[in-house]
Amino acid sequence: MRTTTITSLCAVLSLATAQQLNINAALNEPVPNLSIDPLAAPPTITYDAASAASSIAAAAAAGEPPAILKRLVARQTNDTCTPRAKGAGPVPSTDTSQGFLSYAPFADYAKNATTPTNYTAAFTNLHASTTAKTYLGVAELDSYDAGNCTSQCDKQSGCTAVNLFFERTPTLNLGQGCTDAPSSTTIKCTFWGDAVTAQNTVNSGFTDNGFVVVIAGSNGYNKGAAVQDAKKSEGGRLEVTAVVLGVVGVVMAVVL
């Protein structure tokens, strides 16, 4: 056993000696000249956002957008020129934005609509849709039905008003290769958490590629329950105030 141990130690020492580093040779190697001062402050790297934005805008104007924008556009335009679901409203024979705005049946629907129970009419037959503060969503209806519109509002928490209107919409998903299309008439009901008024109903439409979207027969309805409750509450406060003032008057009369 002792002989084996001594033999192993000799082998280890022999290996260590064979692998010993030549320190003197390493110290004699020339030291390279550094072109950068190791004690100097690190360089400041700046990002010019305005210049970057300008280059993107210039590339887009030249018809060659950056790769990331190409991917985003490709992702958004995969359905370009494919059919869209048609609306349930009538379509004017003159298929232009002006023909839509002057189409008499839209005005007739709006003027003859029955104001739903517990609601008050805020405006009738405007050529714009509401842009109030608290938007709660939109529903596409099968008919110009104010009662259906407000009943859906009643099912939504916080809904206090609606806007019902006809909207001229394209029958295709527009984009490069199909910038215009025959129109369809969508009947929309938008839900709001604040009052709709003629003053905040100012969205008269927009242009989608070469297609002009416009609005007609726009009616607004505000829920009456909140208004009535506010009036009752205000009336109750006035009655209490009158009673208090009356009691004070009687007391003063007795004192005097």
| Residue 153 lies inside a defined structural domain of this protein | yes
| Residue 75 lies inside a defined structural domain of this protein | no
| Residue 182 lies inside a defined structural domain of this protein | yes
CA distance 198 to 194: 13
| Residue 163 lies inside a defined structural domain of this protein | yes
| Residue 221 lies inside a defined structural domain of this protein | yes
pLDDT at 23: 61
CA distance 165 to 199: 16
Taking the chain (256 residues) in runs of 10, the rounded mean pLDDT of each run is 50 50 60 53 47 36 40 56 97 98 99 98 98 97 99 97 99 95 99 97 97 98 64 46 44 45
| Residue 186 lies inside a defined structural domain of this protein | yes
pLDDT at 204: 97
| Residue 147 lies inside a defined structural domain of this protein | yes
| Residue 66 lies inside a defined structural domain of this protein | no
pLDDT at 169: 98
Q: Is 225 left (phi over 0), alpha (psi -120 to 50) or beta?
A: alpha
pLDDT at 79: 84
Residues sharing a CB contact under 8 Å with residue 180, sequence separation 6 or more, in sequence order: 170, 174, 209, 210, 211
Which segments of the chain does DSSP mark as H helices, in order?
2-18, 23-27, 49-61, 67-76, 97-101, 104-112, 146-154, 224-255
User: In terms of residue numbers, what domain contains 194?
Assistant: 97-234
* Domains in the chain, number: 1
pLDDT at 54: 37
162 near 149, Cβ under 8 Å?
yes
